[in-house]
């Protein structure tokens, strides 16, 4: 399984990647600094699972999600949004934009794994 981690913080991308690797050793990763870079990766790579921050320069996570959901090629890709924005209104906005689930920072590796596994089971991806 190949993950695309979209996050403007290099340190947070590393935390997410290392957390996933604790539970899923046989996966690959692509990374993007923002939504614009993520769109470029999605055009070139076969990505199975997208994890995105909300607040990023250029194209933010909400706009990235909307762009993905409008694309014929990648519209079905599972999306988990991870953000510091944690009030009910924000979560509803993200779900309406098209994310499959939402996680509020700071992340707990066990909760991250649970969210990923829940999405995988719900959308019918092959288990890792």
**Alpha-carbon gap, residue 14 to 90, rounded angstroms:** 25
For residue 25, the model assigns a pLDDT of 84
Sheet (strand 101-104) strand order = 28-32, 2-6, 49-53, 79-83, 101-104
At residue 126, the pLDDT reads 67
CA distance 58 to 103: 22
Q: Supply 91's token pair.
A: 């979560």
What DSSP designation does 73 have?
T
- Is 0.85 surpassed by the pTM of this model? yes
The domain ranges of the chain are 2-123
CATH superfamily of 2-123: Response regulator (3.40.50.2300)
Residue 39 in this model has a pLDDT that exceeds 70: yes
């Amino acid at each position: 399984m190949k993950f695309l981690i979209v996050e403007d913080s290099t340190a947070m991308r590393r935390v997410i990647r290392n957390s996933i690797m604790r539970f899923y050793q046989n996966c690959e990763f692509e990374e993007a600094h923002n939504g614009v870079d993520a769109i470029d990766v999605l055009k070139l790579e076969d990505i199975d699972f997208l994890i995105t921050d909300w607040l990023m320069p250029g194209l933010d996570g909400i706009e990235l999600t909307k762009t993905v959901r409008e694309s014929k090629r990648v519209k079905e890709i599972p999306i988990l949004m991870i953000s510091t924005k944690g009030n009910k209104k924000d979560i509803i906005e993200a779900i309406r934009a098209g994310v499959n689930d939402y996680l509020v920072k700071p992340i707990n590796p066990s909760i991250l794994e649970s969210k990923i596994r829940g999405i995988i089971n719900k959308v019918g991806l092959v288990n890792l």
